[in-house]
Structure 1
Amino acid sequence: MAGSMEADNTMEVSAPTAERMRHIGSALASVVQGGDVLVLSGPLGAGKTTLSQGLGKGLAVDGPIVSPTFTIARELQGRGADGKPLRLVHVDAYRLGSVEYEPGQASVGRLLDELESLGLDEALEDPGEHTVVLMEWGQQMASAFAQERLEVTIDRSVSLGDDSASLSASELSSQGQRIVTIHAVGSSWIPRMERLRKAISHEHSQ
């Protein structure tokens, strides 16, 4: 069984290995479309980059998926499941925002100023029909600007050292499984959740 299903808009998937994490990313690639915003969160070393690599492979992007921490955002060209060109904007929001953002106009204003300075505000609010945004560490920003989004959260069952941000398949296995929770926010994602469940189940059975 691929994972436990909590609701039509939420599912959980176990990922004991890096290969499995990439398969989940590849399954996500099979249902994404232009205009989507994906928010990826989890502690250091949980496997965010590994999942992103699976997504990138599934979208046939033209470059490697690496952590964009030192560049804030990277743009890669690929194509969707329908073969149409897609631009993947991979954003690392870890260093964005020097304060904790809370609901309210003042916080939204600070977020908007920061995103505007990087040219990311329009990408979040309206990615466009040929753009997919993948944002790491961006839960607060995405909730403020992207009314339609897919939230992907990775939790690990054990505590890892700070130097374990890059994990191999064997390391993932030895350190215990991850639980990937996928939650759809907004009407555009709800019809695709069943397709995503089937894609992940198919990957799991291979």
Structure 2
Amino acid sequence: MQPNTTTSATITIEAPTSIAMREIGEHIAHIVHGGDVLLLSGPLGAGKTTLAQGFGTGLGIKEPIVSPTFTIARELNGTFPNGDHAHMIHVDAYRLGGNDYAPGQDGIGRLLDELESLGLDEELEDPSGNTVILMEWGEQMAAALAPERLEIHISRPTAPTRNTNEPTSEGTRIVTLVPVGSDWAQRAATLAGK
């Protein structure tokens, strides 16, 4: 895993293969602590689940890591690199916060209501000491739920077509790590040397 650029605290890494994407996830798992929130974004097919699989490997999770799209959240147990118990909540927020808000209800209010109905609101607002939250498609609730977080953005290449540039399944993915908060900035900087 060799970063291409580092601008202020932002780190950009190329992932030419699915193996490289898993390695990025594994390296990120080695710098997380209990209570951390990570937001994973990118278009369909970008490699979010592949990165999550590497993250799970890095936390010693033995169960398969699959996209939680149809379950919204999966809870998995593993071990932090220091040997402590790790509890990972893998959330897919794609279907949360739809357009059918109650009159006068804002988007964040709707998201919090939906998370409460799933039993995830308290865990996301204040993760316990051994819980790490990896949330896909969570950009819309980032500021409301996690003032300190690591944002992981994955972009996939495009291929010219007749009328537009469509995403392609081939080619190198670009992973951009955006630490939010001073603690994350320090920890993410350690990834620059990997």
Q: Could you tell me the TM-score, scaled by structure 2's length?
A: 0.88
How many residue pairs are counted as aligned between the two chains? Answer: 184
CA distance in structure 2 between the aligned counterparts of 1:106 and 1:136, rounded to whole angstroms: 21
Over aligned residues, Cα RMSD in angstroms?
2.1
Aligned to 1:181: 176
Q: CA deviation at 1:159?
A: 5.0
Show CA shifts across 1:14-61 (max 9, x none): 001000000000100110110000000001111000000000001001
Greater relative CO (CA pairs within 8 A, separation 6+): 1
4+ runs deviating over 6 angstroms:
none
- The residue type paired with residue 16 of structure 1 is P
CA distance in structure 1 between the aligned counterparts of 2:25 and 2:12, rounded to whole angstroms: 14
Aligned to 2:76: 76
Aligned to 2:111: 111
Of stretches 114-123 and 85-94 in structure 1, the one that deviates more from structure 2 is: 114-123
* Ranges in structure 2 where 5+ consecutive residues have no aligned partner: 161-167
Q: CA deviation at 1:112?
A: 1.3
Q: CA deviation at 1:108?
A: 2.4
Percent same amino acid at aligned positions? 57
- The residue type paired with residue 174 of structure 2 is I
Q: Write 1 or 2 for the structure with the bigger share of helix.
A: 1
* Ranges in structure 1 where 5+ consecutive residues have no aligned partner: 161-170, 202-206
Q: Write 1 or 2 for the structure with the bigger share of strand.
A: 2
Show CA shifts across 1:158-202 (max 9, x none): 259xxxxxxxxxx96xx111100000011221221222222xx2x
Aligned to 2:96: 96
Contact 1:49 1:67 in 2 (8 A): yes
Aligned to 2:6: 5
Aligned to 1:167: none
Show CA shifts across 1:82-128 (max 9, x none): 11111000001111111299xx9833222211111111111211111
| Alignment partner of 1:146 is 2:146 | yes
Partner SS for 1:76: strand
